Amino acid sequence: MVDRELTIKGRTAIAGIGETVYYKRAQAPDPEFRMCLDAILAAAEDAGLAVDDIDGFASYSNDRNEPSHIASALGLPELRFSNMVWGGGGGGGSAAVANAAAAVAAGYANYVVVFRALAQGQFGRFGQAPPLRGISGPMAYTMPYGLVSPAQMFAMRVQRFMHEYGGGQAAQKAVSMASYHHAQANPRAVMHGRPLTEEAYDGARWIVEPFRLYDCCMENDGAAAIIVTSAERAADLRHPPAHIWAAEQGSDLGQGLPVHNAPDYATSNFKTLAKHLYDTAGVGPHDIDVIQSYENFTGGVVMSLVEHGFCEPEEVDKVLTFENLTAPNGSLPINTSGGNLAECYMHGLELIIEAVRQVRGTSTSQVADVELSLVTSGPMVTPVSNLLLSASR
Amino acid sequence: MSATDAYLPAGLPAPASEALDETYWSAATDHRLMIQCCQGCGRHQWGPEWICNKCRSFDLEWVEVEPRGVIYSWERIWHPVHPALVEACPYVVVLVELPHADGVRMVGNLLGDPTEEVQIGSEVEGVFEDHPECEPPYTLVQWRRLP
């Protein structure tokens, strides 16, 4: 049972959001650190917050831009909190927000920035193997077999899911089509003006079965930032606060076991987290109005939605249809900015920003009367994380 | 089997042993499959680890297991993500479960025609693929369908 006196619910809120222009991979005109600063300043501006008031930073996925460097570059009077979530990919996205909220609730800092910056031209690509001659440790049991990239790491989980429950290809397609559909309304999206037809999806080459090209996220350059503060302080800032009702991070038993030995394999890793999230918030899946579900690969979205209680695993192809997944009329609208597939692969921080927009009522694919806005971050990795935002405290 | 008929072309990172898993790699060059087994609770465990994740004993022994199993999951890779693989696609990676060793799973390639249909649950046996040209030499455990 949740000890309600000790939960985060209603104590903090997201008060500011900021992004650079989103670019195709290696096309950013600016270096990563410069983009990181741009996004943070944009978030402060959006919040109507004096930059000097920022006093903490949280990030994830081994972001290269260190808070001490950022704080000094910005001339901040004091740095009171800096924090990194372990783990790769976007699994730490909502976790970084959770950590920022915890810091604010504990009084460690008053205005904590959560940020992510990526310049894959300046640094390496995620979708290509690093140039190595030898490999030791757990990857010595996978890399020499040509199992190297994230798509290859996760395709086998999704294949097993499809085997156990008998379906998922149609749901994967619906996820991809929904994301591209929403990107057509979003001028910030890298794939704006590049609609995806069913024929193009079906005709696209396999990357690794069961993922075709449009089941895979893009690789992009850019930066994004949000500002977390107390609910009281947020109320005095420019925009209606997106109140943090719950946020969880972690994974189920043995999900970090090497060489694909997790006892429960056909999972996105949200089974325990979803329960904690709903318990803390005191709500259930039927109360959620809109979902931003991290798409490294569409199969991960399908499993995330199942594990958050939106659909039974045997029914994914029936329930997770294009009609249901699209705003404004779908019963289960997801990834309303285009997300990692079609807006920008900003390691899912762009999904958290979109979840805030849905609460504010400013999305380019707005769902009516949003009360509860859910984010699921980084399926199939460990840790994963999730976040529930609300228009009310 | 020698590296001249290795499943994948040369050029991928070669496996290097470390203190924890030296036994596995040296046994593989002798064409024996060895994995860890806990002396505290008798359970097999994979991949290499310092502690039993069931009973938390540090007393893990390397034991030989029969290289046979069933396909637990699989994937057919069409897009090369390493220069060595550009001419190698498609190729098949399988996750093989060893029911006689507490269901541990091992990753390998499924030898044979990569375009052939792959069935979860199919029985496979291990094939030791030597790479004697490398320094130090190493051997990969691969898998092929049982007739």
Mutation for A interface: B77, B85, B120, B141, most A CBs within 10 A: B77
CA dihedral A319, A323, A328, A333 (to 10 degrees): 40
The whole-number pLDDT of residue A1 equals 57
Backbone angles phi, psi at A174, to 5 degrees: -65, -40
Other Cβ atoms less than 10 A from the Cβ of A236: the count is: 11
Question: Strand pairing of A56-60 and A112-118?
Answer: parallel
DSSP-assigned states of every residue in A227-292: EEEEHHHHHTSSS--EEEEEEEEE-STTTT-TTT--SS-S--S-HHHHHHHHHHHT--GGG--EEE
Residues on chain A bordering chain B, Cβ-to-Cβ distance under 8 angstroms: 127-129, 132-149, 151-152, 155-157, 159-160, 163, 205-210, 254, 257-261, 265
Single out the residue of B60, B65, B54 nearest to residue A257, CA to CA: B54
Class of domain A4-124+203-390: alpha beta
Of A132, A136, A149, the CB nearest to B17: A136
Buried b / exposed e along B37-62 (16+ C-beta atoms within 10 A) = bbeeeebbbbbbbeebeeeeeeebeb
The whole-number pLDDT of residue A133 equals 83
**pLDDT tens per residue, range B74-97:** 999 999 999 999 999 999 999 999
Which residue numbers of A are catalytic?
294, 345
Q: Are A359 and A73 in contact, with CB atoms under 8 Å apart?
A: no
- Write the ipTM: 0.97
Confidence category of residue A4, pLDDT binned at 50, 70, 90: low
Domain ranges of chain B: 16-145
The whole-number pLDDT of residue B3 equals 47
- Please compute the mean of the pLDDT values over residues A191-217 and round it to a whole number: 98
Backbone angles phi, psi at A227, to 5 degrees: -120, 125
- Please compute the mean of the pLDDT values over residues A363-370 and round it to a whole number: 98
Residues of chain B positioned with their CB less than 8 A from the CB of A261: 46-47, 104-105
The larger pLDDT score, comparing residue A112 to residue A132, is at A112
Adjacent-strand bridge partners of B110: B143
Confidence category of residue A130, pLDDT binned at 50, 70, 90: confident
The whole-number pLDDT of residue B2 equals 47
The whole-number pLDDT of residue B4 equals 54
- Please compute the mean of the pLDDT values over residues A275-299 and round it to a whole number: 98
Confidence category of residue A125, pLDDT binned at 50, 70, 90: confident
- Please compute the mean of the pLDDT values over residues A314-325 and round it to a whole number: 98
The whole-number pLDDT of residue A3 equals 67
Q: What is the mean pLDDT of each run of 10 residues along chain B (147 residues)?
A: 76 94 98 98 97 98 98 98 95 98 98 97 98 93 96
- Please compute the mean of the pLDDT values over residues A323-350 and round it to a whole number: 97
Domain ranges of chain A: 4-124+203-390
In chain A, % of residues over pLDDT 70: 99
pTM of the model: 0.96
Residue A186, sorted as left (phi over 0), alpha (psi -120 to 50) or beta, turns out to be: beta
- Please compute the mean of the pLDDT values over residues A33-39 and round it to a whole number: 98
Among A121-130, A192-201, B58-67, name the one with the lowest average pLDDT.
A121-130
